[in-house]
A and B are shown apart, each in its own frame.
Chain A
Amino acid sequence: MARKRKKNQEAEVEANLLPVMNIMFLLIPALLMAMEFASMAAINVSPPKFAAQANDKKVDKKEEKPLDLKVFIMEDGYRVSAQGQQEGADAGKEADSSRPTIPLANQSAPIDDYERYDYAALEAKAKEYKALFPHEVTVKLSAESNVPMQVLVGTMDALAGRTCKIGKTLKSGEQPPEDCYFWQPIVEAGAG
């Protein structure tokens, strides 16, 4: 009897790993299919608002003239206007189509060079306006027809503040961080 017990104790128990391996090998292609190769993010773009909605807001702000910040992306730079007045326009003129407010950072670069725009200067301008109008978050964006989407997105980044991290704030409903300027772009067509 004692000999039999000893024999049982010595018997090596081996786990059958094959079913586990089968599951693991099935999991690998399934996970590869759902894998995130590049981290995706979203920029929420508001459709253009109607005049009636804009008037409703005016009542709350005790007749304070809204900023109405507009940025028009041209092939030779940015045209920035606020409160219906283009910055850098000649005296007495609302707009001046002959020259941009913020010229290109690199004048000789081709149109497909997305870094030729002066994003830093635009961001500085957005910061100035934000200091004057701390409650404003929207900006109207428009561009010439040949302007590539990457430039539009880069412009949105500059206007929002390139260090602005608003994702978590939007989810939790907290106040946006101080380094977020105009993070709600409205894309308009042909609003030069």
Chain B
Amino acid sequence: MTPEQQAFQAKKKAKAAARRNKEEEEAKLGMTSLMDIVSIIVIYLLKSYASDPVVINPTAGQKIPMSQADAGLSDGMPIFVTPQGVTFQDKKLVTLTPDGDIDPGMVENHLVGPLYDAMAEEVDKAKQMAENQNREWEGNLIVVGDQRLKFSTLVDIMYTAGRAEFSNYTFCVIRRSG
């Protein structure tokens, strides 16, 4: 090793030693700008917070009818009716044919058997709960339908709900702006 190389190595070692002895610099994250962004997002989300007593989450592929109606949704049990099937209390109870009719094996004289059983059970529970809370059970059913839903299918569902002692029906619609 030449003297120049030795001198270079020594200098390199000295620099490394100096770096090691130097106190580690604390990395600081600029929080203020991040806080601004997050605050704006939170305020925006709070503004668009659903204030309805029932939160309706349409199922995939469901097209809820559009309307000029402006009345808000009142409390009630939602039933989701799509061209694929009928969902009540998170259970898909009835399947629809490709033509949009209720599976003929499930309906008899407009009464949809599996749906009636599930509704009657829920009505009993709701009535009991209302009785315990000393209030009257209102029997509200929120029909979350689909634009393509056939009238005959809708009537069968309403008839079945009526037999299960639901007395008030509400059609859930998307408010048309303008």
Contact = CB atoms under 8 A, between A and B. Distances in A.
Nearest to B143: A45
Contact of A24 (B38, B73, B158): B38
Contacts of B51: 36
Given A21-B35, A28-B41, A44-B168, A170 B71 contact: yes
A120 interface: no
Of residues A35, A112, A168, which shows the largest number of chain B Cβ atoms within 10 Å of its Cβ?
Answer: A35
Interface string B42-67: 10011011111001100000001111
Contact of B67 (A73, A145, A157, A168): A157
Interface in B55-107: 55-56, 64-74
A45 B169 contact: yes
A13 interface: no
Interface on chain A toward B: helix, strand, loop, or mixed SS? Answer: mixed
Contacts of A35: 45, 48-50
A29 to B, nearest CB: 10
Contacts of B170: 42-45
A146 B67 contact: no
Interface residues of B, number: 52
Interface in A40-80: 40-47, 73
Interface size grouping (class) on chain A:
35 or more
Contacts of B167: 47
A15 B142 CA distance: 49
A36 to B, nearest CB: 4
A101 B130 CA distance: 47
A165 to B, nearest CB: 5
Contacts of B66: 150, 153
B58 to A, nearest CB: 9
Nearest to B63: A150
Contacts of A145: 150-152
B172 interface: yes
B150 A147 contact: yes
Given A21-B38, A31-B45, A149 B149 contact: yes
B146 A149 contact: yes
A1 interface: no
A149 B154 CA distance: 8
Interface of B: 31, 34-35, 38-39, 41-42, 45-46, 48-52, 55-56, 64-74, 110, 142, 145-152, 154-155, 158-159, 162, 167-175, 177
17 contacts: A17-B31, A24-B39, A31-B46, A35-B49, A36-B48, A36-B49, A39-B174, A40-B73, A42-B73, A42-B170, A145-B152, A146-B151, A149-B146, A150-B65, A157-B68, A163-B68, A165-B70
